[in-house]
Structure 1
Amino acid sequence: MGGIGKTALALEAAHRARAEGWFPGGTLFVDLRGYDDDPVTADQAVLALLDALGVRDRDLPPTTGRQYDAYRALLAERRDRMLLILDNASDPTQYVPLLPGTDRHRVLITSRDRPDALPVRLIDLETLDPDDSVALVTRALHGTDERDDRPAREPDALRELADLCGHLPLALQIAAGMLRRRRHRDIASVVAEIRDAGDATAVLDHASPGADLYGRSLVLRPVLETSYRRLPPDQARLLRLLCLAPGAETGTEAVAALADLGTESVLSLLEDLAATHLVAPVRGGNGTASEVRWRLHDLVRGFGAGVVAEDAGLREEGEAARERVLGYYQRWAEAADDRLRWLPGMEEPERFRDRGQALAWLDGERAALVAAVEWGREERFADAAVRLAQYLGKFLDWRRYFDDWITVAEAAREAARLAGDRLAEAVSWDHLGLALQEAGRVEEAIDAHHKARDLYQTTGDRHREASAWNNLGLALQEAGRPEEAIDAHHRARDLYQTTGDRYREASAWNNLGLALQEAGRVEEAIDAHHRARDLYQTAGDRYREASAWNNLGLALRKAGRVEEAIKAYSTCLELYQEYEDWYGDGQTLHNLALAHQAAHRPAEARAAYLQSADAFTRANAPDRAAQARARAAELPD
């Protein structure tokens, strides 16, 4: 892409090659200015090359054809290898006529476009590695003043500046120039200025020094504008819309929804944009077209969003596109959520044949889904964002993405308030409470569930009020208030019984059992977990049945009935094998190890601890994994 450092790399490579004696015949360089308003033609370039080879004035052939003949003849006569650099080409017509016609010499071409139709070797340049970005700015500052200690004093600010520059060499070079001029200001001040502006190109171009040592312009926006202006209308439209998509990467299907085009049509346009290096493909697991995701450089995204913002017609086009993609995410998130909640006897959800497919889609789209919910802070998208958020809670909880869950719940709460939907606001408070509790913010969780309960009571939704009581009980347990938790679960159970919801009544019994255990009322807890297990079996929910078996094992172990506890844990593990709940698997194996220890079986306990550590590792819970390994190491041989 523009600003990636193509010319600088070509020149550096040429200087090193010349120093190594690779091209004793000399080096020729032509700037074809392919992205300027008046690019150099091959006919113009051949005159410059002939002049460099000593053919000028009266020796210059009178016609263009003979000029090319003379150029190729001179190259063919040269026995010593030469290097020809054709810089900044936008079209093969600029350079194909200039190729030597002999394999003795070498040609290096730089371009923003991939010439896929030509048999040339292609080297794609990516943005810099973060460490290299930091090193570039550091060297630029030390090259001016070796006493400049800002990079050492502000390593975090320097890394953030590199991130804001998108690790694009041109942007980093301009940022370094800003810091050189502002030698008495810290790096954090530049970071704050870019963040406040929300557009790195505007800040950097305003402070640009103008040109580098080669006389090339050091400005970002014109580089992006020239690439954008050269696009055909359909590609330009797609680029603008893609700049509005949620998340850093967007799947092909989502782009099709955004652009209101068929998948094949949009795929062809995306491939064309990829050839200009304005978007980059990121392949999924199997590398199929449907799994390809598309990534924009942050500066390109900012530029495209700015183009849209400056034109009323383009703004409306963009808002309609955002509505379409939000509808796309809402539809398939609902289908995936239905699959995760599916029980025998329920209607089969569309698209996703099993839990694995649903989780794979949700995993791939997670960043975009979270970003799309945050659109709900705008009134136009509030209703759709609220509904989308409600379809993500189960997944985010399952995968333990608690920070994302908090973000989604908070955005949904604000969207519901904006839309004036009290019931949806209550649901969002309830989900926020669950996420806060999992994140260890228990007092905030209790407050959130209280707010949810009060709103449900206001709207007269007794069924959801029961859920709020149930979730409040869990938070109270976590806060070490078991008697209050018992009361909350009793209220949830009674409300579920009143509304005839035997399935969710099972959840209330299961949670009540945990609270009773905390209060030391173990026999009552065993009875509660038996009731929960039986209700889950009746409903055919094998996953939650497994949870009931695990909790029953806890109560039995506390009652000194260790062999029964081991059987309960073993049954739980058999049921868990059908699912990918590695954290739950790890917890049950940890409990099983404790039971084997109580039964004086150290070998079995060690094996269970190590299996638990493996499960916790897969669940991205390294602290719990380390704890399990430490427990295993403590056991005698």
Structure 2
Amino acid sequence: MTHNSVAGNAVIAGPLVMAGRVESLTLPAAPPSATPRQVPSPSALFVNRESELARLRATETERRADRTPGIVVVSGLGGVGKTQLVAQWVARALRHSYPGGHLYADLAEVRRHGAVDVGGVVAGFLRSLGVHPEFIPAGLGERTALFRSVTAGRDTLIVADNVRQAAEVRPLVPAAGLLVVTSRTSLPALRMDGAVHITLDPLGERAGVEFVRSWQVAEADGAAEALVRLCGGLPLSLRAVGEWLARCPHLNLADAVRRLGARGLPHMEDGTLSVNAALDLAYASLPDPTRKLYRLFGVLPGTTVTGALAAAAGVPDWDDAAGDLLTAHLAVIAASADRPRRLRLHDVVLAHARETARALPDAERAAGLRAGAEFYTAVAAHADVFVLGPGRFRLQAPPARSLADLCAQETPFTDRAEALEWLDAERGNLLAVLRAAAEQRWYDLVWRMCESLWALYHSRKHHADSIEAHALGIEAAQWAGRPDAEVRMRNQRARAYYETGAHDEARRELAAADELLGTVDDARLSGMIWETQGLVALAGGRHEDAHELFTRALEANSATGDRHGVVVQTYNVGQALLAAERRQEAYDVLEAARATATDTGDDTMLPRIGVVQARALQGLGRPEAATETAIRAAEQAAAMRLHAKLDQALAVLSELSASTRDARLRAACDAKLRQLRRDAGVRPQDD
């Protein structure tokens, strides 16, 4: 066996030793495998849907016989019980079916100005199916392709609630399994995809009376029948009346009939029934703290509320108030991967809560919204520190209140992973609050929240959200007279454009930011802009321009003493040199980056540097040194659980072993790659 010294204090071992090192790599442990079962639990009160349940069962049986993915559309009025029907079917017939799991998404929670971020929904499904976040691609097309690959080998049930258009759910059809859609319209375009359509009508008189009599409330002759007619047979309306009666035991069905009046539920402009009259009764029967929580849902622009948020907005007795809404079937627990319990109102109930809140004095509504916006801004800032570390350059000062003080009832996160999950679970609320704060001209809150949300948007590749949010951040910074914040907002928006391949848009943002650099003092802002300009230039094949821009960014970071920035920009200079085929220069620069990273303890940069160094050595015709460098990068990435960098290092090693015809090393690399990708959820387990 021979050994040869190379730069970086590495020692090149013989082929057998190299293969052995790869074979002995300890891959990051695969996450615990839990089959997702996300469809909401059914209610105990459920009547007269046997024909619809039978049709759902028959459709599912036919799909299994044909061995093809299927689509079922369940349509009906708001409040008619579409979600409840699906929940009952899943609980009764599919509890142990679909080995891929049951995935659920309420599109009302992720709809922005009428449009749904379908890519975000697919990304959430991929994470639920065990795909590591580092392996989820940026674009919708790539995400959809991966989703179909992951679901190809295992039947998966997808339930999409509150769908408005066929385009919102076509990417959600699993390669093997069933997509069930609920909608207020029939979505005729999905018939072209072979969808089976089931219309859910209001309860008939017999079924409605059976439903009402299950309350065991005193009734006069014909009162139950009259109540069913007045409520239009809508289960949600009937349930709201039942809740009112349960809290008013001295009243009976005849009293409810009188309260609703002779004409029953009013109609909205589109001709559909409004359940507001019944919800008015239910709301009036709630205790004061519960009504305050109900109104908070109407004041805030998001869809879910936690105990900490309610406390920040001055709602007392969260546990009792939340329990009241759950008992009344006005709210449900929203499923999420993070710790806090989130409450969500039925979409029809939420609309009523917002109408109720509009009756509040303007000052009270504004105070509730301001409290919510300040809460989210502060907690997002704490999450940003957990995710990206305290050493990251930030324009805003740390929050005045500690996380424990902000969330006295329950700490929402205690480490990086939990903080990222909290941000992702609150993603829709955060963007909605950001919009509302911009409308209220709370400019300081807007740009600060945007700065913190980079931790979420960049880590989880929510680029569409980032582009919208940072447009608001740019405007807020301008109104606030903060050119430094505007530079940061434009840079973060440009990075989102860059990640999605929209390089022209990225260049426009960067050009606008570049014009502001003369008005800001901190050289780190200049370095950020030059770095992003360099990345765009590198992606566009302008290698020499990229080299110049990265060099300027390096000088800016050196001038401010930002040692992590020095490592990153030196690494970027090396990438630009390698792309320009200046391989020896690239290797030397990268070796300097490696030495600085080692001296400063910037360990996460070492595998990144090593992968590019291995490429440089490969181009220089030094396969043994390249192999040693790539193995070292793989070992470092494995030790730090950096899945994507480990994947890259093993891929380079596989190429090198193929070029040197080292069969054992290539077999070892390919085996580790297969195992890593299986554990990361992007290859079938039986592959």
- 2:77 alignment counterpart: none
Residues of 1 paired with 2:51 and 2:191: CA distance?
A: 33
Residues of 2 paired with 1:481 and 1:464: CA distance?
A: 23
Matched, 1:269 2:321: yes
Question: 1:377: Cα distance to partner?
Answer: 2.5
Residues 517 and 592 of structure 1: CA distance in aligned 2, closer, same or farther (over 3 Å):
same
Residues 7 and 254 of structure 1: CA distance in aligned 2, closer, same or farther (over 3 Å):
closer
Residues of 2 paired with 1:485 and 1:467: CA distance?
A: 13
Amino acid at match of 1:305: R
Partner deviation per Cα, 1:255-279 (whole Å, 9 max, x = no partner): 3323454xxx212211111111121
Residues of 2 paired with 1:529 and 1:496: CA distance?
A: 17
Question: 1:129: Cα distance to partner?
Answer: 8.7
Matched, 1:240 2:295: yes
Residues 300 and 398 of structure 1: CA distance in aligned 2, closer, same or farther (over 3 Å):
same
- 1:387 alignment counterpart: 448
**Aligned partner of 1:519 among 580, 596, 607:** 580
Residues 411 and 565 of structure 1: CA distance in aligned 2, closer, same or farther (over 3 Å):
farther
Show structure 1 runs of 5+ residues with no match: 17-125, 142-148, 163-169, 175-201, 210-217
Matched, 1:427 2:482: no
Q: Which has the larger radius of gyration?
A: 1
Counterpart contact for 1:410–1:432, Cα < 8 Å: yes
Amino acid at match of 1:250: V
Residues 366 and 133 of structure 1: CA distance in aligned 2, closer, same or farther (over 3 Å):
closer
- 2:473 alignment counterpart: 412
**Aligned partner of 1:553 among 584, 598, 614:** 614
SS at match of 1:295: strand
Question: 1:540: Cα distance to partner?
Answer: 1.8
Residues of 1 paired with 2:375 and 2:50: CA distance?
A: 47
Residues 291 and 394 of structure 1: CA distance in aligned 2, closer, same or farther (over 3 Å):
closer
- 2:150 alignment counterpart: none
Counterpart contact for 2:574–2:586, Cα < 8 Å: yes
Q: TM-score, normalised by structure 1?
A: 0.61
Residues 344 and 12 of structure 1: CA distance in aligned 2, closer, same or farther (over 3 Å):
closer
Residues 438 and 317 of structure 1: CA distance in aligned 2, closer, same or farther (over 3 Å):
same
Residues 526 and 395 of structure 1: CA distance in aligned 2, closer, same or farther (over 3 Å):
farther
Residues of 1 paired with 2:653 and 2:299: CA distance?
A: 50
SS at match of 1:206: coil
Residues of 2 paired with 1:356 and 1:15: CA distance?
A: 42
- 1:231 alignment counterpart: 286
Residues of 1 paired with 2:160 and 2:463: CA distance?
A: 31
**Aligned partner of 2:354 among 305, 312, 315:** 305
Partner deviation per Cα, 1:339-374 (whole Å, 9 max, x = no partner): 333379999x96765323333333333333333333
Residue-pair matches, total: 451
Matched, 1:365 2:421: no
Question: 1:434: Cα distance to partner?
Answer: 1.1
Show structure 2 runs of 5+ residues with no match: 1-41, 54-158, 164-178, 202-230, 236-264, 405-412
Question: 1:283: Cα distance to partner?
Answer: 5.2
Counterpart contact for 1:409–1:428, Cα < 8 Å: yes
Partner deviation per Cα, 1:165-218 (whole Å, 9 max, x = no partner): xxxxx99999xxxxxxxxxxxxxxxxxxxxxxxxxxx99712336xxxxxxxx4
5 Å-filtered alignment, 1:59-458, equals 138=186, 152=191, 205-208=268-271, 218-259=273-314, 261=316, 265-282=317-334, 291-311=340-360, 313=361, 315-342=362-389, 353-458=414-519
Residues of 2 paired with 1:247 and 1:459: CA distance?
A: 35
Residues of 2 paired with 1:329 and 1:618: CA distance?
A: 34
Counterpart contact for 1:522–1:555, Cα < 8 Å: yes
SS at match of 1:294: strand
Residues of 2 paired with 1:525 and 1:550: CA distance?
A: 12
Question: 1:543: Cα distance to partner?
Answer: 1.3
Counterpart contact for 1:396–1:402, Cα < 8 Å: yes
Query: Which shifted more, 531-540 or 477-486?
Result: 531-540
Amino acid at match of 1:594: E
Residues 606 and 436 of structure 1: CA distance in aligned 2, closer, same or farther (over 3 Å):
farther
Question: 1:467: Cα distance to partner?
Answer: 1.5
**Aligned partner of 1:10 among 47, 53, 60:** 47
SS at match of 1:380: coil
Query: Which shifted more, 475-484 or 291-300?
Result: 291-300
Residues of 2 paired with 1:129 and 1:260: CA distance?
A: 29
- RCO greater where, 1 or 2, for CA within 8 Å and sep 6 or more? 2
Residues 13 and 517 of structure 1: CA distance in aligned 2, closer, same or farther (over 3 Å):
closer
- 1:536 alignment counterpart: 597
Identity %: 23
Residues 495 and 345 of structure 1: CA distance in aligned 2, closer, same or farther (over 3 Å):
closer
Question: 1:9: Cα distance to partner?
Answer: 5.5
Counterpart contact for 1:550–1:569, Cα < 8 Å: yes
Residues of 2 paired with 1:608 and 1:592: CA distance?
A: 7
Amino acid at match of 1:10: V
Residues 151 and 615 of structure 1: CA distance in aligned 2, closer, same or farther (over 3 Å):
closer
**Would you tell me which structure has more helix in proportion to its own residues?**
1
Counterpart contact for 2:337–2:421, Cα < 8 Å: no
SS at match of 2:333: strand
Question: 1:554: Cα distance to partner?
Answer: 2.3
- 1:66 alignment counterpart: none
Residues 603 and 136 of structure 1: CA distance in aligned 2, closer, same or farther (over 3 Å):
farther
Amino acid at match of 2:351: G
Amino acid at match of 2:609: A
SS at match of 1:291: coil
Q: TM-score, normalised by structure 2?
A: 0.57
5 Å-filtered alignment, 1:437-586, equals 437-577=498-638, 581-586=642-647
Residues 203 and 485 of structure 1: CA distance in aligned 2, closer, same or farther (over 3 Å):
farther
- 2:250 alignment counterpart: none
